[in-house]
Structure 1
Amino acid sequence: MSAEFKILAISGSLRADSHNTALLRAAQKHQPGGLDIEIYEGLREIPPYDQDLDTPQDRPAAVNDLRRRILEADGVLIATPEFNYSIPGTLKNALDWVSTDWTREEGLPLLRKPVAIAGAAPTNFGTVRAQLALRQVFVWTDSDVVVKPEVHLFRSYERFDEQGNLTDETSISLLQDLLGALKTKIEAAAR
């Protein structure tokens, strides 16, 4: 039996009925096996990035908690909408907090961390540019990003039922393939 890998899943949306958060719940339900997917619910608590406070002893508790969770996770899964052709500010802000180590003592949470990106949007093109922008951020953090498949759930209102369940079989299959690719990266990193 293979090991179970811990995945921290982060939604870039704060909305209660977010299709991106629903996409993460679908990842929990439809994962290919061997993954323990935990949905992070503290994004709203992360304050604006402040380099003056970006030390282990001065960081807000919510930031230290997110950094710890990413360090402890074997991989990260992000589902994001697109705001103004880019990443939602709350998500980018959280990534700014976890991309530093000014003391050079604690390590970089995202360094070589396997990461998978997906997204859902009500339009025909939303999430595409946000995912591209996220890929650029992860170049800087030197994260190990899953390149394919790309998971863009356009017209997302057609892919989820009224209870927020992902019902579109093609979308489920793409999500499973993405999670399988993330698991493969984690297994390779564990060798």
Structure 2
Amino acid sequence: MATKVLTLVGSLRNGSTNQQLAEASSHNAPEGVEVAVFSGLENIPFYNEDTDVEGGVPGAAQALRDAAADADALMLVTPEYNGTMPAVLKNAIDWLSRPFGAGVVSGMPTVVVGTAFGQYGGVWAQDEARKALNIAGANVLENVKLAIPNSVVRFAELHPKDDAEVVEQVTSVLNSIKEIAEAN
């Protein structure tokens, strides 16, 4: 049985290098790993405890929770906006973390990767995402990291799925997720 990895992409932009990195992950998933890239983060309303009640959860938020419940692991792919993660990812984490202590991400093997225009590849955004996920109760694999700098230049003419170094790194990340998910 394959390890199912739900992938959330923090960039909503067409042609996003982070969307391309998610595609590279899906395209180059190692044997025994199935990567599903979630679409629709832009449709999820900001978390509001007043609507997070039986019969009141917005459909888009419930779809995210259902997709996560069907997964064995979670991978966030984030750009860096003003030194932190995009609001859509933080919002997704908020919806997935409730009810607090028993949210769908509680104990779920999770990694954060990404690419950014700057020289550090979005490490601040990744660190902020890991922090929020840890507080949400996810089993964040702190030693599994992938930050690709200079994305606009590096991927100007080459899709990440065709970049041998990226393929090797993505495969390593996914194998690490698989190993931890299978041990759970």
TM-score (norm 2): 0.93
Distance 1:179 1:158 in 2: 25
Q: Does the 8 Å contact 1:160/1:166 carry over to 2? A: no
Distance 2:128 2:166 in 1: 22
1:25 is aligned with what amino acid?
Answer: E
Cα offset, 1:165, TM superposition: 4.1
CA-to-aligned-CA distance 1:10-32 (integer Å, 9 cap, x gap): 10100011111110110011122
Q: CA 1:165/1:177 → structure 2, altered by over 3 Å: closer, same or farther?
A: closer
Instruction: Give the structure 1 partner of residue 150 of structure 2.
Output: 155
1:93 is aligned with what amino acid?
Answer: N
Q: Write out aligned runs for 1:14-29 (5 A).
A: 14-29=12-27
Equivalent of 1:185, from 165, 175, 180?
180
Is 1:131 the counterpart of 2:121 in the alignment?
Answer: no
- Give the aligned length: 184
- Helix, strand or coil at the partner of 2:162: coil
Cα offset, 1:41, TM superposition: 0.6
2:146 is aligned with what amino acid?
Answer: V
Distance 1:181 1:148 in 2: 10
Cα offset, 1:36, TM superposition: 1.2
Distance 1:78 1:149 in 2: 12
1:168 is aligned with what amino acid?
Answer: D
- Helix, strand or coil at the partner of 1:50: coil
1:140 is aligned with what amino acid?
Answer: I
Instruction: Give the structure 2 partner of residue 31 of structure 1.
Output: 29
Distance 2:156 2:24 in 1: 12
TM-score (norm 1): 0.90
Cα offset, 1:61, TM superposition: 0.4
Q: Does the 8 Å contact 2:27/2:161 carry over to 1? A: no
Cα offset, 1:169, TM superposition: 2.2
Distance 1:36 1:76 in 2: 11
Distance 2:116 2:66 in 1: 30
Distance 2:169 2:58 in 1: 37
Cα offset, 1:51, TM superposition: 1.2
1:119 is aligned with what amino acid?
Answer: G
Cα offset, 1:171, TM superposition: 2.1
Instruction: Give the structure 1 partner of residue 6 of structure 2.
Output: 8
